[in-house]
Amino acid sequence: MNKFCLSLLFFIVSSVTSIVLASSENYLFDPNKINKEQAYVSTVGFNLLNSNGIEKRAVFFLDNSNRINAFSTNSSRQIIIYRGMFTLLTSDDELAAVLAHEISHNVDSYNGIFRGFFNHFNYVLSPHKYEYKSDKRAIDYMVNAGYHPVAMIIVMNKIFPQYRYDWCSSHPLTSRRMMEVYEYIYKKYPEFLVNNPYKKNIYYQNFLLNSKENRAKFQEKIKNDSKKKVKYM
């Protein structure tokens, strides 16, 4: 092959590669799309803060990573939701459920000496306690901000994994978390279970299916007017 042919081939390959890369960059990093999504996350987050009169500062960011997670930083009070989780959410209610839970952690980060510097150690020593606390306080935040609290159950059921045990995990079993949320809504906000637009939602229907045994335990507690904490599976 002569030099002209080699040069022509190199030019064609380089041009095609440049076009593909440029198209890929435009698709993945469209600034208009990203700005709208970031604004959406911030709007729901600040609506939760303002509607609940939360005076502790927090900022909200959508991270472009595909990780399925969201968290609150103890040091800088940033609430991060990864794109991997963001793309699995299909309503304002569901996004509010994720952000409200992290806002609760953020509020706790202000407690204690040195402006909450050592607060994270409390979580390390008793993580399940703080996860349950944030789940339930998130329900209050959602209701006060006009979001439907049943969305918390839907998010958990369609996204959170179900491990065999939770004794070596920072989070309780998802089945237990969902039942604690269900019980909390049942007792404090029963109207949301009666007037429930999510009744036919496939994820809520699946929760009703996989929580039969746990809900039977809860109904027994209600029947006996018991104050004893139910040990959900």
What the block records as the tokens of 183 is 């019980």
pLDDT at 119: 77
pLDDT at 113: 82
pLDDT at 167: 84
Using DSSP's 3-state secondary structure scheme, residue 94 falls into helix
pLDDT at 169: 86
Say if residues 46 and 66 touch (Cβ distance below 8 Å): no
pLDDT at 5: 44
Residues of the chain where predicted confidence (pLDDT) is lower than 70: 1-29, 31
pLDDT at 21: 38
pLDDT at 65: 95
pLDDT at 28: 52
Using DSSP's 3-state secondary structure scheme, residue 1 falls into coil
Residues in the chain: 233
